[in-house]
């Protein structure tokens, strides 16, 4: 069950922002709206950020980069830019989802709920895996050889999926379904972008193996 979510809407267009905020409040969420990147960065950290990319002061990508540098707060980019290169750029900065205008309130609410389900504390306790990898699903923390590493929500969800059964193949369709909450399957670099980031942060590129054209698995001795 998804409870009330504290949302920060970053949108400079009143014609878009006002009905959006009203609709989200009708859905039971607590919503604060700001109209520029500076105010977004100065606002208290919410449960989730809805971030427009075209802002009057700071580019939305830069706002996302600064938010991600200091927090793992989930970010859904809301923008008119629909090309793949824009989506990939957003995902590389740690965005959890990407919604292209125009969109319906139902679609956006579903995406908010899907993201929040993925970032809620998981049921399983901490577990130690091969190579000194410790994944604490309840606290959403990861350590390698005792040192904690910072992951974005999607990076954590991907790793948690892989560590469920070290050595077992996890296909791309399952990753899209369980981490991104979608059944769509087509050309996308989203998974590859996040797997590459995971490999860098875990400090051993070979820890996550690629099964070309199928998916990935966590290396198991």
Domain annotation covers residue 1: no
Boundary residue ending a domain (104, 119, 134):
119
Q: Specify the pLDDT at position 130.
A: 60
Q: Is residue 126 over pLDDT 60? A: no
**Residue range 184-215, pLDDT digits in tens:** 655 568 899 999 999 999 988 889 999 988 89
Phi, psi of 32 (to 5 degrees): -115, 140
**Average pLDDT, integer, range 84-95:** 74
Do 196 and 209 meet the contact criterion of CB atoms below 8 Å apart? Answer: no
Domain annotation covers residue 102: yes
- At 23, the pLDDT band (50, 70, 90 cuts) reads very high
Q: Is residue 148 over pLDDT 50? A: yes
Lowest mean pLDDT among 77-86, 118-127, 175-184: 118-127
Name the domain count of the chain: 2
Q: Is residue 31 over pLDDT 50? A: yes
| Torsion on CA atoms 35, 85, 111, 124, rounded to nearest 10 | -110
Q: How far apart are CA 218 and CA 163, in angstroms?
A: 7
Q: Specify the pLDDT at position 187.
A: 54
Query: What's the CATH number where 196 sits?
Result: 1.10.10.10
Q: Is residue 138 over pLDDT 80? A: no
Closest CA to 9 of 43, 148, 209, 27: 43
Q: Are residues 19 and 80 in the same domain?
A: yes
**Structural domain range at position 82:** 6-119
Closest CA to 218 of 176, 162, 178: 162
Q: Are residues 79 and 152 in the same domain?
A: no
| Residue 207 DSSP label | G
Query: What's the CATH number where 85 sits?
Result: 3.40.50.2300
Q: How far apart are CA 73 and CA 96, in angstroms?
A: 9
Boundary residue ending a domain (64, 98, 119):
119
């Amino acid at each position: 069950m998804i409870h009330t979510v504290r949302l920060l809407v970053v949108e400079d267009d009143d014609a878009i922002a006002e009905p959006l905020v009203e609709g989200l409040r009708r859905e039971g969420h607590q919503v604060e709206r700001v109209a520029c990147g500076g105010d977004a960065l100065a606002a208290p950290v919410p449960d989730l950020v809805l971030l427009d990319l075209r802002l009057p002061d700071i580019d939305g990508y830069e706002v996302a980069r600064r938010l991600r540098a200091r927090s793992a707060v989930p970010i859904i980019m809301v923008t008119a830019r629909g090309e793949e290169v824009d989506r990939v750029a957003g995902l590389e900065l740690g965005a959890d989802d990407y919604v292209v205008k125009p969109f319906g309130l139902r679609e956006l609410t579903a995406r908010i709920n899907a993201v929040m389900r993925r970032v809620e504390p998981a049921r399983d306790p901490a577990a130690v895996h091969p190579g000194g990898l410790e994944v604490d699903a309840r606290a959403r923390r990861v350590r390698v050889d005792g040192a904690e590493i910072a992951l974005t929500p999607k990076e954590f969800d991907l790793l948690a999926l892989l560590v469920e059964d070290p050595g077992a193949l996890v296909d791309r369709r399952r990753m899209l379904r369980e981490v991104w909450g979608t059944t769509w399957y087509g050309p996308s670099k989203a998974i590859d972008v996040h797997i590459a980031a995971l490999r860098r942060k875990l400090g051993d590129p070979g820890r996550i193996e690629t099964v070309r054209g199928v998916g990935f698995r966590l290396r198991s001795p």
